[in-house]
Amino acid sequence: MADILAEVYDEPYTEYGLIGLGTQSRPFHVVATPLLPGQRNTIASVYQSGYNVFRLRREMHFLSERLGQSLVPIAFIHRHPGGCGMSSIDEEFLTGPFVDQVLTVVALSERKIIQPGDFNCGCEEIEGLIQQNLKGNAERKSVTIDYGVCFSIIVNREREFSIYAAREQFCPFCEKATVRLVPATLHINPGDQPTEDKLRKLRSQLEVEIEAKLEFERSAKIE
């Protein structure tokens, strides 16, 4: 992506965004990364209108049919010209609308012993259970928690990257949501490394996709 933007479009520093798609059976294994359709790009921002969000959902449907498996959004992937740290807007998006959207299609559950800080709802049942669990192992009680996880992967022009994750979980008693950033790692399957021939084909595909999906706004106000 970065090479094509620099060599073909003379846009060596622009941001751009992709969506990482997993399957419902393996939601943390990314199998496709289409560019966001209709995105407007500057050196400091990526913007996609609501109309083009619906275009993205249709594209996900077509990709699912082509691959023969139901694809779900799990990661937002985008480029920063400089460092790989999240901006305040990146964090707000990851821990707000994106994790909410992912949770509607990838809902998980687990049994765990609730610890202080797991929830910020403050309901009496949670506080009582935490106090009980702090008394000792013999009285510790686990409960079933419903939750969702999504990821943000930020890449810079030096091909460095950082990965971030947000977890939204619901109090098993009052059902209020708590969202927080959690540790994450990215594992790249060695068997997925492309050959030179695959890289050439990928570049040709990306050139078509970039032409169809990116719109550069050189005169846009940078915030």
Task: Specify the pLDDT at position 137.
Answer: 65
Instruction: Please tell me the predicted confidence (pLDDT) of residue 218.
Output: 67
User: CA–CA distance from 53 to each of 65, 112, 223 (Å)?
Assistant: 19, 36, 23
Query: Could you say which residues of the chain have pLDDT below 50?
Result: 219-223
The pLDDT, as a whole number, for residue 132 is 85
pLDDT of residue 197: 94
Q: Which fold has domain 2-107+148-167+177-216?
A: Cytidine Deaminase; domain 2 (3.40.140)
Q: Token match 């950033």: residue?
A: 181
How confident is the model at residue 182, as a pLDDT? 96
| Of 95, 96, 98, 112, nearest in space to 146 by CA | 112
- Note the pLDDT of residue 135: 79
